[in-house]
Amino acid sequence: MQDRATNPLSVLETLLRHRTLIGQLIKREIAGRYRGSFLGVFWSFLNPLLMLSIYTFVFGVVFKSRWRPDAVNHMEFAVVMFAGVMLHSLISECVMRAPSLIVSNVNFVKKVVFPLEIFAWVTVGAALFHTAIAMVILLIAIFIWQGHVMLSVLWVPVLLMPFALLTVGLVWFISSLGVFLRDIGQLMGIVSSLLMFMAPIFYPLHSVPVGFAEFLYLNPLTFIVEQVRNVAIWGSPVDWLGWALYCFVAYVVAWLGFMWFQRMRGGFADVL
């Protein structure tokens, strides 16, 4: 087990080997979240739609906020901000659930042959489902605002791949710690807030004082938020050099998270 964990390819091998089971668990996760509710999965559409409507009214109509000085449409600020909030919701949902991920699946911990590491993929996969729905709402809003949708928006899934991989690595690390340190669940609320406010979600990056903007790129959200906005809203090309570097960092984080998880999993059964 330890030898396999130290193999850099083990991260993707886990996904490919158990892809059928991961897919089934993602479907169960999504269905279970809305089981018993009157509207069911429709809530996945309703929630981001209501959020965008509120943002448009509060920031566009009430506060008359403008992302660009020459902006005249009150939807612009809400749409640009929603793109950032959408991505923050993805990583926030995952890190908030991570501390209890193993603890809430004790019955699987007792099964020696069950691949516990797939729960990280399931968590991120379910979050990606909600992000995809939010993306549809975003595209509809962009069309209403601009009258068209940029063809460059097709690059969004490519941009999200390393972001999802990095998030899986974080979930592996946090979920294994959550077994031994139950207080880490309280810390994740603070981490989620830091990720939100230390990224250009509610403010444009160019408004950050010189010397601080570079610091914000330590936040895994900053680069992805900027790139998704560029291709989906402004029609700008992808920063491929930055994306390649982000891919490298994301894979290293995922690999380290996987190794840490495999090293710690031996003590799960004793604690639980």
| Torsion (CA) 155, 157, 159, 165 in degrees, nearest 10 | -160
| pLDDT of amino acid 38 | 66
What does the alpha-carbon distance between residue 52 and residue 241 come to, in Å, rounded to a whole number? 32
| pLDDT of amino acid 32 | 84
- The per-residue b/e assignment along 154-172, b for 16 or more CB within 10 angstroms, e otherwise, is ebbeebbebbbbbbbbbbb
| pLDDT of amino acid 41 | 72
Q: How far is CA 104 from CA 21, 33, 65, 109, 178, in A?
A: 18, 15, 43, 10, 11
| pLDDT, tens digit only, all 272 positions of the chain | 555 667 888 899 999 999 999 999 999 999 888 776 666 677 788 888 888 889 888 887 888 888 887 777 878 999 999 999 999 999 999 999 999 999 988 888 877 678 999 999 999 999 999 999 999 999 999 999 999 999 999 999 999 999 999 999 999 999 999 999 988 989 999 999 999 999 999 999 989 988 888 899 999 999 999 999 999 999 999 999 999 999 999 999 999 999 999 999 888 888 86
What does the alpha-carbon distance between residue 168 and residue 145 come to, in Å, rounded to a whole number? 34
| pLDDT of amino acid 74 | 79
The predicted model scores a pTM of: 0.93
What does the alpha-carbon distance between residue 213 and residue 106 come to, in Å, rounded to a whole number? 43
258: phi then psi, degrees, rounded to nearest 5: -65, -45
| pLDDT of amino acid 3 | 55
Domain residue ranges of the chain, discontinuous segments joined by +: 2-267
DSSP 130-190: HHHHHHHHHHHHHHHHHSS--GGGGGHHHHHHHHHHHHHHHHHHHHHHHHH-TTHHHHHHH
| pLDDT of amino acid 151 | 95
| pLDDT of amino acid 223 | 97
What does the alpha-carbon distance between residue 35 and residue 61 come to, in Å, rounded to a whole number? 36
DSSP three-state, residue 272: coil
Residues 62/77, Cβ–Cβ less than 8 Å? no
